[in-house]
Amino acid sequence: KNTQGLSDYLKKSFPGENLKVAIAYDCRHNSDTLAKVVADVFSANGIKVFLFSDMRPTPELSFTVKHLECHAGIVLTASHNPPEYNGYKVYWQDGGQLVPPQDHEIIQTIEALQYDQIRFEANNDLIEYIDTAVDEAFINSAIENGSFNTPASAKENLKIVFTSLHGTSIKLVPDVLEKAGYTNVAIVKEQAEPNGDFPTVKSPNPEEPEALTMALALAEKTGADIVIGTDPDSDRLGIAVRNTDGELVLLNGNQSMVLMTHFLLEQWKKQGRITGTEFIGSTIVSTPMMLELADVYGIECKVGLTGFKWIAKMIKDFPEQKFIGGGEESFGFMAGDAVRDKDAVTATLLICEIAAQAKANGSSL
């Protein structure tokens, strides 16, 4: 019913256009089955569908909407929530999640539908499975936005522990790190297999310290410099690093956001890319330190309501200004505007860049 309503709304919003949508799904129970149902209904309505044939991170879907010039995108996911949940997340043609009044208008369209109005007869000619080519483009984008001239020796010297917490990031994060030059990566094997039951954690939420217990233990065993864990749909990340006493400490979302934003601003400054028309993004629930950073670097910090959809709206509403990066206290971050939602894939690489350069300079992250 959601998909039929969205199909009707798309036709109303883009009259006469050849409509295209992208669909992704996570590791949760029946996500793959539900994604195929969504694809069938879209195709039955004459809409071209790009469907991932296996689970993928949510930020890759946001990227794909823009990359394939789609009108909308869907992810079947319940993000970091417990295993009994699933969800239906909608993106618009800019790659950002829906904001008012569109969200309310679509809900009204859905609620007005009768079930006998839903078209289930799939047109398989309109369903195209996507994988490798889009993956490669997304990986290249992550490296372009998250990598900043770190010497190869510094990358090789950084000891990383990574856990996907049974989620989708295992599909891409190891490849991104390897392609970017990070070869000293230990993966928590017990949590590397995608599993919608998330059997090794109470909650697959990297905001909660307990979720990183196994990764922290592996880090102590291997002497790792940094621990990174992502939630099931790979849009938020938890981070632990060594302090100056060599102890592993967990960063909260505000700390990681400020560290990554400051690093981006400093790199842009070194490259001579700051002209004063750029901006960073944050939300009302996050630290005011973002405003201080913007002031120091002579740019603007735009502050929106809670949720990354509002940062995505900033990018869309102010095309004359270049978005550098931004985030929220909820352990999410965006680097560049290729992805219009929180992106743990690119952020994982970015925090490794910061850690590698800090270690090479004799400092802690």
Quote the CA–CA distance of 73 and 298 in Å, as a whole number: 35
In this structure, is the dihedral angle defined by the CA atoms of residues 178, 183, 184 and 187, taken in order, positive or negative? positive
DSSP string, 135-162: HHHHHHHHHHHH-----HHHHHH--EEE
- Contact between 310 and 334 (Cβ < 8 Å): no
Look up tokens 């630290």; give the residue: 287
Q: Is 361 exposed, middle or buried (0-12, 13-18, 19+ CB in 10 A)?
A: exposed
**Considering 79, 164, 169, 234, which one is annotated as catalytic?**
79
DSSP string, 321-364: S-EEEEEETTTEEEESSSSSS--HHHHHHHHHHHHHHHHHTT--
| Strand 72-76, strand 88-92: pairing | antiparallel
- Contact between 90 and 10 (Cβ < 8 Å): no
- Contact between 334 and 308 (Cβ < 8 Å): yes
The greatest distance separating any two alpha carbons of the chain, rounded to the nearest whole angstrom, comes to 67
Helix (H) or strand (E) holding 50: strand 48-52
Contacts of 33-40 with CB under 8 Å at 24 or more apart are 34/76, 34/86, 35/74, 35/76, 37/3, 38/3, 38/74, 38/76, 38/88, 39/122, 39/127, 40/120, 40/121, 40/122, 40/127
Task: Identify whether 234 is a catalytic site residue.
Answer: no
Quote the CA–CA distance of 52 and 45 in Å, as a whole number: 19
Active site residues: 79
